[in-house]
C-alpha cells in the first residue's frame, strides 16, 4: 500500500496542471460545502439562542384554548393558574387592541408581562421605573412602522373583559432591538398589572414562560411546550434550507468527481503499457487497481490541502465579520439576524472531508476495476482492450 501511495503521489505530481485543476474543482466543492453548512448552522445557533432569550425561555405553559398560530383564540385563550403552580413561571396576558399612530389605524397585540421578570431579554425594567400612566415598550420594527420614538404618546383602544371599548394614551418608555419578530411586530408590551387593571382580567394569563428551574407537572386546562417543540418550526426551516443547499453543492461535487472520473478513464487507457509492466514485475491485478484507486483518491487529499490553503483564511474571515444580507426574516416572521456568523464545527469539517475523500475514492475505483480484467501481455504491447 505504501508503494501504491508513493507511486500515486509521483504520478499525480508528474501530471502537473491537470492534477491541480482536478484538485481545484474538488476543493471548491469542499470549501463551499463547509461554508454553506457553516452558515446555516450559524443561523440555526443564533436564531435558537435569540428565540430562547426573547420568546421561549425554558418552555411555555399555554392556556388550553390558546393557539399561537390562531389569533381567533386570543379573546378566550386565557385563564387563572393556581398560585401554587406558578413557581418559576412568568405570566403573559395577550389582548387585542387598536392603535392610532398619526391618525392611522393599526391592529396590535397588547402583551402584559411581569415587569420584574428576567427570563426574557425584554427590557421590562423600563416599565417599572417609568412614572407614565400606562408605560409601554416596543421593538424597533414596531417603532419604525408607527414612526414612534421614546417618550411619544400613542392612543390605544381595547376591549375589557365584557367587550366594552376603552381607550387612552400610552407612553412609549423604551424601544428594544431584537432579531425575533414574534416579540416585536404589531405588539406593545406593558406591565401585566396594568393590563389586568384596564381589562378587568386580574390574575388571568394567556401563557407562562418557564425559567431553567421549572419542572412541569400536568395541569388541567394548560399545556406545556418545551424548547425543542417551540423551536421545531425553526428546525424545519433550517433542515429545508440544508436540503435545498445540498442540491447546489452536490452539483459542484459532481463536477469535481466527474473530472476525476474522466482523468482516471484517460489514465487507464493511456497507461496500459505501464499497467502491463507493473503486472510483469510481479504486482497482482488488484494491487494495480489499488494503486490507481489511491491515485484518484489522492486528488481529494490534494483538494483538501488546496481548499485549506485558501478556505481557512476565507472562512475564518467570514466567521469573524459575518455576512450581511439585504433581506431580513421580518416579512416571513422568522428569526434572522442582519448579519449571519457561520459556525464550523469539527463534525462538519471532518464529515465533509470524509464525504469528499470517499466519493473521490469511489469514482476512482470504478474505472480502475477495468484493470482487473486486462490481459497483461496485451497490456504490455499497449494494445487497446
Partner 1 sequence: MHYLLTIAMLVCVSPSLFAQDAAGIIKKVDDNMISETQIMVSEMVIHGKRNNRVVTSKGYSEGRFKSFTEYLAPDREKGIKMLKLENNLWIYSPSTDRTIQLSGHMLRQSVMGSDLSYEDMMEDRKLMDMYNAKVTGEEVIDSRKTWVLQLNAKVDDVAYDSRKIWVDQERYVPLKEELYAKSNRNRQWPCYGGSPLKEELYAKSGQLLKKTVMSDIKKIDGRWYPTTLNYKDMLKDGKGTDFIVKEIRFNEPIPEYIFSKASLKK
User: Which residues form the interface with partner 1 (CB under 8 A)?
Assistant: 71-72, 74-75, 96, 98, 100, 102-105, 107, 155, 157, 159-160, 162-168, 198
Burial 120-142 (b: 16+ CB within 10 A, else e): bebebebbeebeeebbbbbbebb
116 SS3 class = coil
Q: Which is nearer to partner 1, 84 or 164 (CB)?
A: 164
Q: Shortest approach of partner 1 to residue 42 CB, angstroms?
A: 37
The DSSP symbol for 56 reads I
Burial class, 146, CB count within 10 angstroms (exposed 0-12 / middle 13-18 / buried 19+):
buried
Q: Which is nearer to partner 1, 170 or 192 (CB)?
A: 170
Q: Which is nearer to partner 1, 188 or 360 (CB)?
A: 188
Q: Which is nearer to partner 1, 170 or 231 (CB)?
A: 170
C-alpha cell at 259: 473530472
Q: Which is nearer to partner 1, 76 or 378 (CB)?
A: 76
Listed residue (348, 360, 349) closest to 256, CA to CA:
360
Listed residue (334, 329, 328) closest to 233, CA to CA:
334
Q: Shortest approach of partner 1 to residue 159 CB, angstroms?
A: 8
C-alpha cell at 228: 425543542
Q: Shortest approach of partner 1 to residue 64 CB, angstroms?
A: 17
Please give the Cα distance from 362 to 368 (Å, whole number): 10
Dihedral sign, Cα of residue 308, residue 314, residue 315, residue 316: positive
Give the DSSP letter string of 219-238: -TTEEEE-HHHHTHHHHHHH
| Start-to-end Cα distance in the chain | 26
Q: Which is nearer to partner 1, 24 or 186 (CB)?
A: 186
Q: Which is nearer to partner 1, 202 or 313 (CB)?
A: 202
Q: Shortest approach of partner 1 to residue 80 CB, angstroms?
A: 19
Q: Shortest approach of partner 1 to residue 165 CB, angstroms?
A: 5
Q: Shortest approach of partner 1 to residue 154 CB, angstroms?
A: 11
Q: Which is nearer to partner 1, 168 or 321 (CB)?
A: 168
**Parallel, antiparallel or unpaired: strands 135-139 and 165-176:** parallel
Listed residue (158, 108, 162) closest to 137, CA to CA:
108
Q: Shortest approach of partner 1 to residue 157 CB, angstroms?
A: 6
Helix axes 2-15, 17-51, angle to 10 degrees: 100
Q: Which is nearer to partner 1, 198 or 360 (CB)?
A: 198
C-alpha cell at 190: 406593558
Q: Shortest approach of partner 1 to residue 151 CB, angstroms?
A: 21
Q: Do the beta carbons of residue 201 and residue 91 sit within 8 Å?
A: no
Q: Shortest approach of partner 1 to residue 329 CB, angstroms?
A: 24
Q: Which helix (H) or strand (E) holds 159?
A: strand 153-159
Amino acid at each position: 500500500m505504501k508503494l501504491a501511495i508513493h507511486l500515486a503521489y509521483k504520478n499525480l505530481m508528474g501530471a502537473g496542471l491537470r492534477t491541480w485543476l482536478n484538485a481545484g474543482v474538488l476543493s471548491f466543492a469542499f470549501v463551499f460545502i463547509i461554508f454553506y453548512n457553516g452558515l446555516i448552522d450559524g443561523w440555526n445557533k443564533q436564531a435558537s439562542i435569540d428565540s430562547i432569550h426573547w420568546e421561549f425561555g425554558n418552555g411555555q405553559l399555554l392556556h388550553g384554548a390558546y393557539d399561537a398560530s390562531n389569533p381567533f383564540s386570543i379573546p378566550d385563550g386565557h385563564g387563572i393558574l393556581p398560585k401554587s403552580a406558578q413557581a418559576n413561571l412568568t405570566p403573559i396576558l395577550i389582548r387585542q387592541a387598536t392603535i392610532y399612530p398619526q391618525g392611522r389605524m393599526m391592529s396590535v397585540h397588547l402583551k402584559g408581562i411581569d415587569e420584574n421578570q428576567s427570563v426574557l431579554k425584554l427590557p421590562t425594567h423600563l416599565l417599572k421605573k417609568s412614572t407614565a400612566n400606562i408605560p409601554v415598550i416596543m421593538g424597533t420594527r414596531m417603532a419604525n412602522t408607527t414612526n414612534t420614538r421614546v417618550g411619544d404618546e400613542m392612543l390605544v383602544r381595547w376591549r375589557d373583559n365584557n367587550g366594552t371599548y376603552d381607550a387612552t394614551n400610552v407612553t412609549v418608555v423604551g424601544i428594544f432591538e431584537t432579531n425575533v419578530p414574534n416579540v416585536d411586530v404589531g405588539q406593545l408590551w406593558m406591565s401585566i398589572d396594568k393590563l389586568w387593571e384596564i381589562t378587568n382580567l386580574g390574575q388571568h394569563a394567556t401563557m407562562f414562560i418557564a425559567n431553567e428551574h421549572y419542572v412541569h407537572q400536568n395541569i388541567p386546562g394548560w399545556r406545556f411546550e418545551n424548547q425543542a417543540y417551540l423551536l421545531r418550526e425553526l428546525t424545519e426551516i433550517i433542515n429545508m434550507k440544508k436540503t435545498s443547499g445540498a442540491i447546489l453543492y452536490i452539483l459542484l461535487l459532481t463536477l469535481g468527481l466527474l473530472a476525476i472520473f474522466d482523468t482516471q478513464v484517460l489514465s487507464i487507457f493511456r497507461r496500459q503499457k505501464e499497467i502491463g509492466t507493473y503486472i510483469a514485475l510481479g504486482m497482482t491485478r488488484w494491487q494495480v487497481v489499488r494503486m490507481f484507486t489511491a491515485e484518484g483518491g489522492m486528488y481529494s487529499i490534494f483538494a483538501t490541502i488546496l481548499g485549506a490553503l485558501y478556505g481557512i483564511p476565507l472562512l475564518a474571515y467570514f466567521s469573524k465579520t459575518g455576512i450581511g444580507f439585504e433581506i431580513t426574516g421580518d416579512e416571513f416572521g422568522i428569526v434572522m439576524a442582519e448579519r449571519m456568523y457561520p459556525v464550523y464545527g469539527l463534525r462538519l469539517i471532518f464529515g465533509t472531508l470524509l464525504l469528499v475523500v470517499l466519493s473521490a475514492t469511489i469514482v476512482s475505483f470504478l474505472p480502475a476495476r477495468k484493470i482487473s480484467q486486462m490481459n497483461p501481455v496485451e497490456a504490455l504491447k499497449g494494445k487497446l482492450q
